[in-house]
Every structure is written in structure tokens, then in C-alpha cells.
């Protein structure tokens, strides 16, 4: 290990340095957006190593493998080659690694399979069918979410079955048998030697809580310094595990959490803001450091962020500031329709590229829901602006890849029923649905795996050829897995399974693409085998087996995928944008019922999370921030008129370049700020059209000079009508391009009495 002294500390501001040097006891670092959070976390680890702490005694928990890799790279630049020995990784990856060693202590095989979302859904779907339940009522996604929530709250199937509140709620939702599905799901996973993603946390908790052979003391001793990144994103179960690792003999260990309560936006995944708000109470001796200097954004953006988040009641008080200068004022774009919104955003991007010389990759469009992307894609294509949708279908979620991985999984773990069911008849072998149902029932009745059933019963007739052939193929593949490295074994599996031959027979572009994907998977395995880097915490060259490769890919997330820098505008949901930054950011669709979402309007805590989401959105911008909204848009097949988002009214007058005129009716306004004047119907206001009382007049009644009402554009005057029966109408409530050309054949216009 290279000791380079303490010169790196001079790169930190006073608060950052204090957080880095506070190595003992509980420490909480509240890190505002763009405040150098990652630098503090990595320098803190580097500092610990530099003052003599062994790297393998440091546990750094993150939410993506990408963040862990970046952390190790930064540490290595500061202190040298010791970084790879730090236990840095996601909760799931590091806990699964511990469970690979300790799982036998709690009744699981150490080579357990990891079930992904599709595996879990497939198993739940099978259970619903076996119980003769209505699959439309017992929606697989809803049932899986219920089970996930129960696990995250440390609720066993037995406890669930005795919880009157949950049972009543399930009955109200016409799903009273969820407790039974949960019970069977847990049994089948255990029987298959499998854990789903929630189990990697739950079983880690069980390992530490039940403490067989004093295993808790072993890991408390090993991890003498524990750090958690993005602590505001933790759920209750993750926090309980942290306590078990860091509190013993009644005293808190050396634990440091880094996060920002104002960026807690993942409650739908089970994250709870209460963890970070409660930390000071749970660790009374905690040292608190607030990183409030923003190095990312200009002052107008920072001021807007402070003002907006100030409307939330539940928060840790702080005020971010910057030395980056005022910068350009926030631009606000009002449009009549969502289509116009798409056009104006595309036009603005062209203007920014020409005027400020921004590259496409410097620009992002952020929206509340993924469905909003269509209109922006449409207008970007029309302008030949290259773009990408962030968070598309993951490589490892493609069918041909999942099929190949299922073969590998079954070779590694014969008990993996979900893998077996996926590929026993792929490529087709003549093993039908009825046969599989019978085999599954035998397995259930005897509480054994399907592999045990097919290898122990006497196969007769056609089954001797079909199922027997499948068994022999898997056994041949497993022999290679046992003696060869991951690449050679997987290459053999791809050929022996018949997948390569099947896909090569398809000469369509789609077929060729699938072959390319399988080739890319094999290339990835080869790279895995030939990579000589030692993984976090490894003392010797890591295992190059297929089991180890499966573990690494099973835990990948969208954020871990290759995001090679290319010159494209990025479109993504605000949730996906967290942790990213761009020179220019467009936050679009700022309307009530959209942002904030209509699903959040009933509870104050949900509105506060929506506001935190808006805070995250605007703080992604470095230099330019543009906020857009449309007076009308099609939703669920209907034209909807939405009020301007309350969040726009919370932006300070001094930070924006224009006046927004709004009409608010459906929610109380806690504060009216400067340029956001509350006005009645009139020029600049939303069209006030009562669709229920609207009656379209006959075309013959539409003449030059008459006043008319249009459902979308409001009141206007017919300027002219040409020979093709196209009317030019000037609308009172449209300030930008008020004249619209409308085909009378399709128009719905109501003639008004002046």
C-alpha cells in the first residue's frame, strides 16, 4: 500500500474535511445536491486506510455496482493499490457474498440460486393457478409487491396470516388468499435452494439476528468501519441490518451515513425517509456535518431549489449555496397542448446548440412518467436531433439471453425449478404443458425439486426419449461446468443446448440480432474469465466459475449498464435522473395531476415526496434550467385541462425570466410569490370551457366575424374562411401564435352571443 501523506485533505473545504477526519463513532453527513458527496465518502475511506485501517475492515454499502466501482477507482488514485480490498458494493451483492459462505447456517445451500423478477413472477403465477384463484383478481405484480413489502418489514408468512389489518385489506381488495400464496412461495423458494432479491436482505438479517455460531460477532469484528451511501434510499430492513452490524454491547460502532433527506424519492420501492430523519435519535452521540456548498449549479437554480424544498415540513434544515455566479435565469415555457410543448422543447434545444454551443449530450429532458416521452421523441426526430431513452430494456432481460442464462443456472443448481421450467422444452423437445403440470404436482406433493422428480422416476414411452434426452444433455453440460472455466463451459452449453443452431436458422434481422446478443453474452463471460482484477474484499484471485458469473449478473441494475458517452439528448423520468447532471435540463409536464402526480394528492407526505422529486429534477441542471407545461393534453383517450403545477408557484420571482399567469381552484395556496399572480379567466389564463354544457354549432353557423368557443383553445373570433372550409380563428387566451387554422369539417365550435 502506498502512503502519500495527507495532501489529499487540502482538496476539501472545511466541512468536507471535518466529515473525512471524523473517523470514530457515529457520523451523519447531510449532502446537498452537487456538494461533493462522493468525494467525501471516497476520501473518508482513503483516509482510514492511510491512517492504518486495513481495507478489508471497511464495509461501504452503495445502491449500484457502478457507484462502488467509481468509489474504488477514486480511492486508488488517492492511496494506491489497496482500494480493491475494501468491501465496497451494493447491499445485495455484498450480502449475497456473505451468504455464499454462511447460508448453510440458516438452512440454505451455499450455492443457492438468485431469482430475478421474472423468476419470482413465474413462481407466483404457478401458485395462483395451483390454488385455482382468478389470475385477473390476483394480479401477479400486485401479489409480488405485497410479498416484497412483507419481507421488507420483517413479516413472515405466519405473522402475515395473523395480522388482522393486512387480512382485512386483502379481503377489501378481493385477494384474501395472499397469505397462502406467500406461504407457498417461501416454501418453494426454500425447496429450490433459491433466494429472491428481498431474501438477500431478509436472510442476511436472519443470519445476524438469529446469530448461529456467533456469526454476528464475526462480521462486527471484520467490519470495524461501516459506511452507507444514499442513506435516504434505505428501507426498514436495510436499516435493521445496519444496526445489527454496528451496535453491540450497547454502544454504537464506527458507522457513517451519507445522504440527503431532500432527495428521498423512492418510497414506492420501500425506501423510507424516516431512516435518515430518525438517525440522530437512534445514535444520540452522532456527529453531524452538512455539506451545503453546491459546486454544480448557478445561483438562480440553487435559489429556486432552496425556495421549493422550504415548503416541506419534514426535513433536516439546511440551505445550499454556490460560488458559481448567478448564471442565466430559469426559462418558463407555457404551451396550449402537449404537442406544442414537444415542438417548443425541440426548438429550444436547437437554439441552445446554436447560441451556447451545447452538444446533444449536454442536454436532458426529464418527465414525471415514461408515457410522456412519445411527443418529445416525435419532435426530436423531426428536427434530426439524436436522442436516447435512458433505462430501456436491459441486455440481461432479453429473451434469448434469459434462455441461455437459464441453462447455465440449471447446470450450476439442479434444484432451480424456474430455470428448468423455462428451458426443458426450449428448443422444443415435445415436453408439453400437461406433462410439466404433472411433474410440478409430484414435486409439490413430495416437497422435492422437479429435477429430483425426473431423475428418480422411471421414464416410459416418449418421455424416455424427450425428458431422458434433456437429463443427459444437462448432465453433459454440468461435467464441463465442473472442470472448465466459465467461458469454455458456457460455449459448450450454447452449442449442446441447441440455442445457437435454432437462432442461426432464423435469417430475419431479428434472428441475426439474437445471435449477436448470444455472442455478446459469451464475450462478456470470456472477459469475466480473463479479467485479472481482484473483486472487493478478495484476498486472492477470484473464482472464475459460472456460479460466480451468475452472481455478478444477477445483481446488475439499469444504473450498472454500459452507458457509453455518445452525442445524444437524454430523455428519462426524474426518478432515473437522480445522481446525474447536465449543462441544460428541461423539466416538462409541470401540471397538477401530472407533476405532482394525481396519485399523490390525497396525503401530505406524498405531496412532500413529489416536491422532493421536483427538487431532484431542478438540481440536475448546471447552467440552464427550462420548465414547461401545457394547458391541455390527451390522457386516457380524453382531452384533459390541468392547472399549472403548484411547484411552479413556489419558484422565486427573481429566478425566472417570465411571468406565469395561473388559475388555481383545486388546492390551497400556502404562498403567492411575486411573478406568479393569481388571476381570473382572461388573457393568459387557462381556457375555462365547461365540456358538459358545450354544444357544437352547425358548420353553416360559422361565419367571418362571429365569436366562437373551442374546447381546447377557448374563446376566439373567426377571422376568415377559405374555399376549402378552413377557418382562421384568433383565440383570446393564446398569447403565442394566437391564430389557428381549423378545418370546419372536423372542428367543434360553439357560436357565442356577443
Cell of 424: 426443458
- CA gyration radius, the chain: 30
Q: Which residues contact 324 (CB under 8 A, 6 or more apart)?
A: 294, 295, 296, 297, 298, 299
> Could you tell me if 304 and 334 are in contact, meaning their C-beta atoms sit under 8 angstroms apart?
no
C-beta of residue 618 within 8 angstroms of C-beta of residue 297: no
Q: What are phi and psi of 228, to 5 degrees?
A: -130, 125
Element (H, E) at 456: helix 450-456
Place of cell 421414464: 459
Task: Report the sign of the C-alpha dihedral through residues 219, 221, 226, 231, in that order.
Answer: positive
CA-nearest of 94, 123, 99, 98 to 109 is: 99
CB distance 124 to 148 below 8 Å: no
Q: Which three three-digit cell numbers place residue 259?
A: 445522504
Taken in order 66, 67, 72, 76, the sign of the CA dihedral is: positive
Phi, psi of 498 (to 5 degrees): 90, 0
Active site residues: 37-38, 229-230, 263, 620
Please, which residues bridge with residue 628 across strands? 333
Question: CB of 178 within 8 A of CB of 146?
Answer: yes
Q: How many other CB atoms sit within 10 Å of the CB of residue 299?
A: 17
State the cell numbers at 402: 434469459
672 contacts 656 by C-beta, under 8 angstroms: no
138 to 129, 130, 270: CA distances (angstroms): 10, 13, 21
DSSP, collapsed to helix, strand or coil, labels residue 194 as strand
C-alpha triplet 620, 626, 628: angle, nearest 5°: 120
Helix (H, G, I), strand (E, B) or coil at 571: strand
Which DSSP string do the residues of 460-528 spell out, in sequence order? Answer: -THHHHHHHHHHHHHHHHHHHHHHS-HHHHHHHHHHHTSHHHHHHT--SHHHHHHHHHHHHHHHHHHHH
Look at residues 422, 440, 438, 431 and name the one whose alpha carbon lies nearest to residue 466: 431
Distance CA 670, CA 315 (A): 18
Amino acid at each position: 500500500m502506498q502512503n502519500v501523506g495527507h495532501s489529499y485533505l487540502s482538496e476539501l473545504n472545511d466541512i468536507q474535511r471535518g466529515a473525512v477526519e471524523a473517523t470514530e463513532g457515529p457520523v451523519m453527513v447531510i449532502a446537498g445536491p452537487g456538494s461533493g458527496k462522493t468525494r467525501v465518502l471516497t476520501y473518508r475511506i482513503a483516509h482510514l486506510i492511510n491512517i492504518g485501517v486495513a481495507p478489508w475492515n471497511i464495509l461501504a454499502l452503495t445502491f449500484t455496482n457502478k457507484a462502488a466501482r467509481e468509489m474504488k477507482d477514486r480511492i486508488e488514485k488517492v492511496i494506491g493499490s489497496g482500494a480493491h480490498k475494501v468491501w465496497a458494493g451494493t447491499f445485495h451483492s455484498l450480502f449475497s457474498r456473505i451468504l455464499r459462505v454462511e447460508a448453510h447456517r440458516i438452512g440454505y445451500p451455499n450455492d443457492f440460486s438468485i431469482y430475478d423478477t421474472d423468476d419470482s413472477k413465474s413462481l407466483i403465477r404457478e401458485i395462483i393457478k395451483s390454488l385455482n384463484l382468478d389470475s385477473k383478481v390476483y394480479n401477479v405484480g400486485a401479489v409480488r409487491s405485497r410479498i416484497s413489502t412483507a419481507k421488507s418489514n420483517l413479516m413472515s408468512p405466519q405473522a402475515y396470516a395473523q395480522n388482522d389489518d393486512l387480512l382485512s385489506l386483502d379481503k377489501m381488495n378481493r385477494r384474501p388468499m395472499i397469505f397462502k400464496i406467500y406461504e407457498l412461495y417461501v416454501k418453494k423458494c426454500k425447496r429450490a435452494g433459491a433466494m429472491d432479491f428481498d431474501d438477500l436482505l431478509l436472510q442476511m438479517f436472519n443470519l445476524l439476528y438469529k446469530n448461529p455460531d456467533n456469526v454476528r460477532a464475526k462480521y462486527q469484528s471484520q467490519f470495524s468501519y461501516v459506511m452507507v451511501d444514499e442513506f435516504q434510499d434505505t428501507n426498514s430492513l436495510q436499516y435493521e441490518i445496519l444496526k445489527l452490524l454496528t451496535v453491540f454491547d450497547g454502544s454504537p460502532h464506527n458507522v457513517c451515513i451519507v445522504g440527503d433527506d431532500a432527495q428521498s424519492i423512492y418510497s414506492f420501492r420501500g425506501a423510507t425517509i424516516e431512516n435518515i430523519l430518525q438517525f440522530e435519535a437512534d445514535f444520540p452521540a452522532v456527529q453531524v456535518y452538512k455539506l451545503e456548498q453546491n459546486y454544480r449549479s448557478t445561483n438562480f437554480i440553487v435559489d429556486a431549489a432552496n425556495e421549493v424544498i422550504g415548503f416541506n415540513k419534514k426535513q433536516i434544515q439546511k440551505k445550499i449555496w454556490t460560488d458559481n455566479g448567478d448564471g442565466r435565469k430559469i426559462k418558463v415555457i407555457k404551451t396550449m397542448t402537449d404537442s406544442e410543448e414537444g415542438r417548443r422543447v425541440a426548438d429550444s434545444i436547437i437554439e441552445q446548440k446554436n447560441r451556447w454551443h451545447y452538444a446533444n449530450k449536454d442536454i436532458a429532458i426529464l418527465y414525471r412518467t415514461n408515457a410522456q416521452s412519445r411527443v418529445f421523441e416525435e419532435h426530436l426526430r423531426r428536427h434530426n436531433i439524436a436522442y436516447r431513452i435512458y433505462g430501456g430494456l436491459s441486455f440481461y432481460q432479453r429473451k434469448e439471453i434469459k434462455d441461455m442464462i437459464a441453462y447455465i443456472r440449471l447446470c450450476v443448481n439442479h434444484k432451480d425449478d424456474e430455470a428448468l421450467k423455462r428451458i426443458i422444452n426450449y428448443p422444443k423437445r415435445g415436453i408439453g404443458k400437461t406433462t410439466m403440470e404433472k411433474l410440478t404436482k409430484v414435486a409439490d406433493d413430495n416437497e422435492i425439486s422437479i429435477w429430483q422428480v425426473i431423475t428418480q422416476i422411471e421414464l416410459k414411452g416418449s418421455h424416455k426419449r424427450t425428458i431422458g434426452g434433456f437429463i443427459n444433455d444437462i448432465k453433459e453440460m454440468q461435467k464441463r461446468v465442473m472442470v472448465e472455466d466459465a467461458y469454455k463451459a458456457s460455449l459448450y452449453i450454447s452449442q449442446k443446448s441447441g440455442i445457437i443452431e435454432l437462432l442461426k436458422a432464423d435469417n430475419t434481422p431479428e434472428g441475426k440480432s439474437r445471435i449477436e446478443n448470444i455472442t455478446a453474452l459469451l464475450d462478456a463471460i470470456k472477459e469475466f474469465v480473463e479479467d485479472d482484477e481482484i473483486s472487493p474484499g478478495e484476498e486472492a484471485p477470484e473464482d472464475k466459475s459460472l456460479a460466480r458469473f451468475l452472481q455478478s449478473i444477477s445483481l446488475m441494475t439499469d444504473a450498472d449498464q454500459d452507458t457509453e458517452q455518445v452525442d445524444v439528448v437524454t430523455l428519462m423520468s426524474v426518478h432515473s435522473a437522480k445522481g446525474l447532471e447536465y449543462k441544460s435540463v428541461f423539466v416538462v409536464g409541470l401540471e397538477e395531476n401530472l407533476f405532482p402526480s394525481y396519485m399523490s394528492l390525497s396525503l401530505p407526505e406524498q405531496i412532500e415526496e413529489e416536491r422532493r422529486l421536483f427538487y431532484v429534477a431542478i438540481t440536475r441542471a448546471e447552467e440552464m434550467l427550462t420548465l414547461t407545461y401545457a394547458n391541455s393534453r390527451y390522457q386516457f383517450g380524453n382531452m384533459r385541462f390541468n392547472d399549472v403545477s403548484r411547484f411552479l408557484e413556489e419558484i422565486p420571482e427573481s429566478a425566472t425570466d417570465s411571468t406565469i399567469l395561473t388559475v388555481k381552484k383545486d388546492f390551497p395556496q400556502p404562498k403567492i410569490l411575486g411573478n406568479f399572480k393569481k388571476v381570473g379567466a382572461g388573457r393568459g389564463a387557462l381556457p375555462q370551457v365547461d365540456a358538459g354544457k358545450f354544444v357544437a354549432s352547425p358548420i353553416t353557423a360559422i361565419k367571418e366575424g362571429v365569436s366562437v368557443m373551442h374546447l381546447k383553445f377557448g374563446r376566439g373570433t373567426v377571422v376568415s374562411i377559405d374555399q376549402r372550409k378552413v377557418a382562421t380563428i384568433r383565440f383570446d387566451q393564446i398569447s403565442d401564435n394566437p391564430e389557428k387554422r381549423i378545418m370546419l369539417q372536423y372542428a367543434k365550435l360553439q357560436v357565442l352571443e356577443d
